[in-house]
Structure 1
Amino acid sequence: METRRVILSIAVSSLFVFSFVDGLSFNFYAASCPSAEFIIRDIVTSSSSNDPSIPGKLLRLVFHDCFVEGCDASLMLIGNNTEQTDPGNRSVGGYSVIESAKKVLEMLCPETVSCADIIALAARDAVGIAGGPMVQIPTGRRDGMVSLASNVRPNIVDTSFTMDEMVKLFTSKGLSVLDLVILSGAHTIGVAHCNAFRGRFQEDTKGRFTLIDKTLDSNYAVELMKQCPVSAMASATVNNDPETPMVFDNQYYRNLLVHKGLFQSDSALLNENSTRTMVKDFANNQELFFVNWSQAFLKLTSVGVKTGNEGEIRRTCASTNA
């Protein structure tokens, strides 16, 4: 109970600190494009109805954008050696949803709403659509001008990372260990390609996988090997959450406690007493997870933002205005 109070206290105290960070503000488009957030939510909702995988894709998209160059839509830029070309980003999806929203907004409010804000708001809406909390986030982000593949790997979490590696990376983004545990809960929805967790298995002489990572539940490992045999195509995927894959809930933490975290980086959260305690608290109390998610997501979408005269408002998300 004491740990829950501490976590709640941290979440509530962070609300004021991060509400208007870096020049962002609530209702930023109230005068310039009052229907912006409604339009984005409507497009995310309709896209998710047609493709249930969209919420997970949009949530992953915001992580991969914000951790590289900050939340500035640098991941949306297309071209040689841009962030999209790095192998770590080739499986990221949801771009078409962002472009669809941008196209409508450009017709109604030309050169007003940034792609960076669309990404943040779309991810926010995706969580709400999937059953999670609807987070109020400030807007006013501007789009970046730089997108380099070489910036990707040093700035995104690899699924094989240890706790120390994850903490180091999150700290460099101004995010705490608590934020790390909370934001890892994003794995409660979405899918992963088989190669993202194959390091937990080894191919034997008969061309079959055997489990070598003993931190993974053996029965769950058998199911994963059925879905991802050695012969599986590169496009093959499995659900991040084997229990409620399309619902944003606290099942991710329950899975961890029974050793059904899909990635090595998931299982690593149980390796230290402090993070294991957080996992248990969130597994036992979904409301606690949702309250803390709201604040951690607010911090995530404030990482490295560009405001004022920085960057630009792109006319199309795939290219700069130059």
Structure 2
Amino acid sequence: MRSWVVLGVVIGVMFVNFVGQCHGGGGWGLQVGFYKGKCKKNVDIERIVFGVIFSRFRKDPTITPALLRMHFHDCFVRGCDASILLDGSDSEKIAGPNLSVRGFDIIDEVKSAVEKACPGVVSCADIIAIATRDAISLAGGKRYPVQTGRRDGLISRAEDVDIPSPAFTVSEAISAFAAKNLHVSDMVLLLGGHTIGVTHCSNFQYRLYNFQNGKPDRTMNPILANQLRKICPQSATTDNVVDLDQNPLSANVVDNSFYRQIKMGRGVLQIDQELTWDPRTKKIVDWILRPVFDFQTQFGQAMVKLGSVGVLTGTQGEIRKSCRAINNPSAIQASILALLNQNQH
């Protein structure tokens, strides 16, 4: 029965996705200011979200890379539909790449504040997008306009999680992003999100000791490699963390410093370092480092494009009351079974 229910949901979502794509614009697509006039007393949804994020950021600035990662992991699986937020014994949350994703409590807090002001109107998917933008702006990034109007998905399965690996080659990464209709330039800009945040030793330790034929990765700056070996010894029993941007003065600031570091061979992750020598990405990195290039604006535009991947709009999906659970699972299953029965006759 469970497999039939999942199949039915997939069929239903695929059908409505097709219908939604045929009704571009109007109330069907994403738009800036989607919630204006949809709440009583002209409630400003984005202002409410910012208030919560500002308060949390003051206590813990690391919420920026946490939310940025959550947004990316959500959009790369089934699209930006907040499926990563759903609890369950087989939900996306329990998949290996998502075990270290954090910030769910922040989204819960934002959702609670929004529901008090405007119940049943604002999707969890939109909350992730707005909250991420606000956190980026607080960390020194430019405040870009967020398109809203997403609806929340009804499916969350661990088996669907296929996030690009830190050990991907440029070719593998380009293919993964292209599958989401993201160009190579979008990929290079979005990987610029590594301007903030940390990564675990387990994600790059092989580069220090056994990258090729039992030798370390020669593309890594030898001074950095020696420093990282002290933090990530082969015999370590704990999975330590290091900054993705190896400039200590800029490791928590959204800027183009990350690209300067990888140009000097100071990229921690394999995919980051390969951006500087693969001919398809090297020229983009070089352009980003030019004085005339406005990285923060372009990064914001790439985030907007990421936020449009596989969205549900119009009558698709739902607006969850709680970001951790679909509203009425039994009713959804009943409607799916009814649809299947109709198709059989």
Mapping for residues 1-322 of structure 1, pairs under 5 Å: 23-33=29-39, 34-153=43-162, 156-202=163-209, 212-234=216-238, 236-243=240-247, 244-285=250-291, 287-322=293-328
Q: Sequence identity of aligned pairs in percent?
A: 41
Instruction: State the superposition RMSD in angstroms.
Output: 2.0
Are residues 123 and 181 of structure 1, via their aligned partners in 2, closer, same or farther at CA, if it must alter by over 3 Å?
A: same
The whole-number CA distance in structure 2 between the counterparts of 1:258 and 1:19 is 45
CA positional deviation for 1:106: 1.2
Are residues 173 and 94 of structure 1, via their aligned partners in 2, closer, same or farther at CA, if it must alter by over 3 Å?
A: same
Q: Secondary structure at the match of 2:275?
A: helix
Are residues 184 and 286 of structure 1, via their aligned partners in 2, closer, same or farther at CA, if it must alter by over 3 Å?
A: farther
- Report the AA paired with residue 67 of structure 1: F
- Report the AA paired with residue 168 of structure 2: F
CA positional deviation for 1:20: 8.8
- Report the AA paired with residue 191 of structure 2: S
Are residues 22 and 199 of structure 1, via their aligned partners in 2, closer, same or farther at CA, if it must alter by over 3 Å?
A: farther
Higher mean displacement: 159-168 or 224-233: 224-233
CA positional deviation for 1:22: 6.1
Contact 2:144 2:297 in 1 (8 A): no
Contact 2:287 2:293 in 1 (8 A): no
The whole-number CA distance in structure 2 between the counterparts of 1:96 and 1:219 is 39
Are residues 35 and 232 of structure 1, via their aligned partners in 2, closer, same or farther at CA, if it must alter by over 3 Å?
A: farther
Q: Secondary structure at the match of 1:238?
A: strand
Q: Secondary structure at the match of 2:209?
A: strand
CA positional deviation for 1:291: 2.6
Instruction: Tell me the TM-score normalised to structure 1 length.
Output: 0.87
Instruction: Tell me the TM-score normalised to structure 2 length.
Output: 0.82
The whole-number CA distance in structure 1 between the counterparts of 2:274 and 2:174 is 11
Contact 2:199 2:241 in 1 (8 A): yes
- Report the AA paired with residue 147 of structure 2: P
Match of 1:206 in 2: none
Higher mean displacement: 279-288 or 33-42: 279-288
CA positional deviation for 1:231: 4.6
The whole-number CA distance in structure 2 between the counterparts of 1:19 and 1:134 is 24
Q: Secondary structure at the match of 1:113?
A: coil
The whole-number CA distance in structure 2 between the counterparts of 1:186 and 1:21 is 31
The whole-number CA distance in structure 1 between the counterparts of 2:106 and 2:292 is 29
CA positional deviation for 1:268: 1.6
- Report the AA paired with residue 253 of structure 1: Y
Q: Secondary structure at the match of 1:142?
A: coil
CA positional deviation for 1:286: 7.4
Match of 2:334 in 1: none
- Report the AA paired with residue 213 of structure 1: D
CA positional deviation for 1:202: 2.6
CA positional deviation for 1:213: 1.0
CA positional deviation for 1:236: 2.4
Match of 2:342 in 1: none
- Report the AA paired with residue 101 of structure 2: V
The whole-number CA distance in structure 1 between the counterparts of 2:38 and 2:239 is 42
The whole-number CA distance in structure 1 between the counterparts of 2:27 and 2:222 is 45
- Report the AA paired with residue 216 of structure 1: M
The whole-number CA distance in structure 1 between the counterparts of 2:28 and 2:305 is 11
What 5-or-longer segments of structure 1 have no aligned partner? Answer: 1-17, 204-209
Q: Secondary structure at the match of 1:58?
A: helix
- Report the AA paired with residue 194 of structure 1: C
Q: Secondary structure at the match of 1:100?
A: helix
Contact 1:179 1:296 in 2 (8 A): yes
Are residues 219 and 183 of structure 1, via their aligned partners in 2, closer, same or farther at CA, if it must alter by over 3 Å?
A: same
Contact 1:249 1:286 in 2 (8 A): no
Q: Deviations over 1:229-257 (max 9, x none)?
A: 23545452111112111100000110110
Q: Secondary structure at the match of 1:308?
A: coil
When Rg is computed on C-alpha atoms for both structures, the one with the higher figure is 2
The whole-number CA distance in structure 2 between the counterparts of 1:123 and 1:70 is 16
The whole-number CA distance in structure 1 between the counterparts of 2:205 and 2:123 is 38
- Report the AA paired with residue 221 of structure 2: D
Contact 1:21 1:302 in 2 (8 A): no
- Report the AA paired with residue 225 of structure 1: R
CA positional deviation for 1:92: 0.9
Q: Deviations over 1:98-149 (max 9, x none)?
A: 1110011111111111110010111111111110111102100000011111
- Report the AA paired with residue 187 of structure 1: H
